[in-house]
Amino acid sequence: MEKILKPRLEDFLNFVREHGVIGLALGIIIGGAVTKLVTATVTDLINPIVGIFLGKLGNLNDITIPIFSANILIGNFISTLIDFLIIFAVVYFGIKKLGLEKIDKKKEESK
């Protein structure tokens, strides 16, 4: 039984390494782990500071562009974009700093 399972396990591990599954999984895990923290940072720290510069417009999330009977939530979009950029930077630089981009095994060239 071990002679059957061991080669299959090795095949599976090679597949995971060759197709970058580990890097993808790490990116998802790290990104998911920092999302709430980044959202709180943007909502509680960055948006109020931007709100100071906006003056009477108030909070960044409250900015809208009225078009006919619709209100485009441009402030909410900008806030979400800031969230995304911070999360992207944390994940990118975290993976670079930890050296995790080298985990995936490259496919061997066919001769």
| Residue at 3 is within a domain | no
Contact present, 10 and 99 (Cβ < 8 Å) = no
Total domains in the chain come to: 1
| Residue at 1 is within a domain | no
Stated pTM of the model = 0.52
| Residue at 107 is within a domain | no
Average pLDDT over residues 89-109: 69
Structure confidence by residue, pLDDT tens digits, 37-65 = 777 887 788 777 777 777 766 667 778 89
Domain harbouring 37, CATH code: 1.10.1200
Instruction: Please list, in sequence order, all residues whose beta carbon lies within 8 angstroms of the beta carbon of residue 105, skipping any fewer than 6 positions away.
Output: 14, 17, 18
